[in-house]
Structure 1
Amino acid sequence: SGDLLLVGDLMRSLCLVSYKSMESALEETARNCSPRWMTACEIIHADSFLGAESNYNLFNVEKETASVGGEERQRLMENGSYYLGEMVNVFRRGQLVSACVESVTIPISHSILYGTVEGSIGIVLQLDKPFFQFFTAVEKAVASRVYNCLRNEHREYRSVSNEKTTVTKFGFIDGDLVESVLDLPRSEAIEILHGIQLPGDNHNKNPEEVLKLIEEMSRMH
Structure 2
Amino acid sequence: MQEQSRTFAICSLKSNQSSIEDSETHYIRLLDDPTFEFISTYQLDTFEYACSVLSCSFSDDSNVYYGAGTAHVLPEENEPTKFSLLKTGKLRLIAEKETKGSVYSLNAFNGKLRLVSIKNPIVQVDAPEDGARELQSECGHHGHILALYVKTRGDFIVVGVLMINLLHEEGAIEERARDYNANWMSVVEILDDDIYLGAENNFSLLTVRKNSEGATDEERGCLEVAGEYHLGEFANRFRHGSLVMRLPDSDVGQMPTVIFGTVNGVIGVIASLPHEQYLFLEKLQSNLRKVIKGVGGLSHEQWRSFNNEKKVVDARNFLDGDLIESFLDLNRRKMDEVSKAMNVTVEELCKRVEELTRLH
- Residue 19 in structure 1 maps to residue 169 in structure 2: yes
- Residue 49 in structure 1 maps to residue 196 in structure 2: yes
Q: Structure 1, residues 106-147: CA drift from partner, whole Å, max 9, x if none?
A: 585421110001110001101111101000001001111112
1:211 positional shift: 1.6
Q: Distance in 1 between matches of 2:342 and 2:304?
A: 22
Q: Distance in 2 between matches of 1:71 and 1:88?
A: 31
Greater C-alpha radius of gyration: 2
Q: Distance in 2 between matches of 1:217 and 1:72?
A: 36
Q: Distance in 2 between matches of 1:172 and 1:140?
A: 12
Q: Distance in 1 between matches of 2:165 and 2:251?
A: 35
Give the AA of the match of 2:289. Answer: A
Q: Distance in 2 between matches of 1:153 and 1:167?
A: 14
How does the TM-score come out when normalised to structure 1? 0.87
Alignment match, 1:82: 229
Unpaired segments ≥5 residues, structure 1: 198-204
Alignment match, 1:33: 180
How does the TM-score come out when normalised to structure 2? 0.54
CA distance 1:173–1:166, shift in 2 (3 Å): same
Q: Distance in 2 between matches of 1:103 and 1:189?
A: 30
Q: Distance in 2 between matches of 1:206 and 1:195?
A: 10
Dislocated runs of 4+, deviation >4 Å: 105-108
Alignment match, 2:328: 182
Give the AA of the match of 1:164. Answer: K
Alignment match, 1:140: 286
- Residue 5 in structure 1 maps to residue 157 in structure 2: yes
CA distance 1:72–1:196, shift in 2 (3 Å): closer
1:47 positional shift: 0.5
Give the alignment's Cα RMSD to 1 decimal. 1.9
Aligned counterparts, 1:97-112, within 5 A: 97-100=244-247, 104-106=250-252, 108-112=254-258
Aligned counterparts, 1:154-165, within 5 A: 154-165=300-311
Give the AA of the match of 1:154. Answer: H
CA distance 1:54–1:71, shift in 2 (3 Å): closer
Q: Select the residue among 241, 255, 263 that pairs with 1:94.
A: 241
Secondary structure in structure 1 of the residue aligned to 2:154:
coil
1:169 positional shift: 0.5
Aligned counterparts, 1:55-70, within 5 A: 55-65=202-212, 66-68=214-216
- Residue 213 in structure 1 maps to residue 352 in structure 2: yes
- Work out which structure has the larger RCO, using CA pairs closer than 8 Å and 6 or more positions apart in sequence: 1
The answer as to whether partners of 2:208 and 2:225 remain within 8 angstroms in 1 is: yes
The answer as to whether partners of 1:107 and 1:127 remain within 8 angstroms in 2 is: no
